[in-house]
Structure 1
Amino acid sequence: SRMYDFDLPTIDWEKVREGIRKQIKYLVVSDEKDSHSHRMIGDDSKEHFTEDEWSAYQIIKEFRDNNVWI
């Protein structure tokens, strides 16, 4: 949206983070298999994200880095 200068409605980032946590819990207890295909964002790209966006991504990164889903 930034690239095209498109305004999005206000995002409740706490709801986004809670949704990510709920999905992680679901994946851990489900029979879903990890695709082993992930798009990762390097720490050198942090400057392109707001603090809220980055904190939401860090939940996903920690999940991936700790091999919770194996």
Structure 2
Amino acid sequence: MRHNLDTVDRIIRGVVGIWLIMVAFTALRVRRRTTAAIVGIAGIGLLQNTVTGFCGFNGLLGLDSTEERCDDC
């Protein structure tokens, strides 16, 4: 599997993923199970993107933030 996320994307997804997991635990504590499940799955998905460096949705759209940019162009 080819990486399609650069370092900045991975850091942002990691922070948002951790935040969503915390929101899911909070929702679970107040007995909002559906909200907790949806937010928890989204958080786990973002953390999976962070660990692997690959986002399937970006792959489907043809987006790749790891491409080297030409500063001289």
TM-score in same-fold range (> 0.5): no
Task: Decide which structure has greater helix share.
Answer: 2
Q: TM-score, normalised by structure 1?
A: 0.36
State the structure with more CA Rg: 2
Q: TM-score, normalised by structure 2?
A: 0.35
